[in-house]
Structure 1
Amino acid sequence: MVNPAKKKGTSLETWTVRYLAWALQDTRIDRMPLHGNADQGDLIGVRFCGEPVCVECKDTKQPNYRKHWRELLVEMANMDTPYGVLVQHRKGVGVKSLKGMAHQMAVFDVETLERFLSSHMGHALSGLDGRRELANRLRREAKPVPSNPTLVWLPLERFALLLNDGLPLGPDHGED
């Protein structure tokens, strides 16, 4: 029999792939094969400013944000990337739809979120005002993670918007 906790985790990974592939219109995003001690996150093909993004997905009864963030940091080092995100299932928000996935938690420590935002600001010469506006909006929208002052979260939809350089998400510009 399949372990129910593993089944929930696999479902969150699968729907995170579906959501990000849809939002970014990128069929290269997929589940990552396991690498044992050298695990490199749960997804492959997520990129930001030409660099890989380590994505760790967690669907646990009691979120242990600190432990999961430390795990992500190890996997970011294994992947040799400065970019990582913890996708945490939000209690009471379904994961088996694009709409539900848009509202899941994309968790960062403040330093990593700032790394994303500052790289976003400087990675292209045109559209600086729009990039600055998006970065400032995302800073304002970031919410503290419960019981952990060093971590913040944004809805996964907002993280996808950052990955997509502020452009509309999906083939039909955000409608599912």
Structure 2
Amino acid sequence: ILGSNTETGDVKLIYENNTLGYPNYSSKDNQLVFDNDGSGTTINTGLVILNNNKIESASVPVLFISNSRWAVWFSNGKRVLSSSEETSSGLGSGIKLKSNPVHAEVEIEFNTVINEHPLIKITNTLGQVIYQNTHFISSDKTNILINSDHWLPDTYFLNVTINDKTVSIPFIKM
């Protein structure tokens, strides 16, 4: 079972299993339940406590429920899965999507004149790079248009990197 951070591209081993794990995070994202091949033909549900990065185990997995599989964590309440704009540096306030969801094209708007060559990378939920290119932004050109007609409807991540600082903005393609 691998944990992946789609913003940084980090992938870490949570648990080495000899069967499909069908992992499911707890409602606080601090534990993970998964299928674990027991002795012979028995399938059990295992439980592991996760590190703060949520993609590595912080403990040795333990048997959670014997002779069970496909555990699903359920809880009531509201939860923010993503915000319309997430920033990991000081860039975020100057970069935004013109619309979200997007349809035929992705329009990135730069609110400040930067005279830089930002690297624009768009990935899907599997971490596959859908688009990557360097553009020039100046006082004459503060928007970037990217054709998205041929993309499948899905959730995507816009990553803009300028001088080793990156902002990541999730968006939906309709």
- The TM-score range, normalised by the shorter chain, is under 0.3
Specify which structure has the higher proportion of strand: 2
- Larger relative contact order (Cα-Cα within 8 Å, sequence gap ≥ 6): 1
Structure with higher Rg: it is 2
Q: Normalising by the residue count of structure 2, what TM-score does the alignment of the two structures yield?
A: 0.24
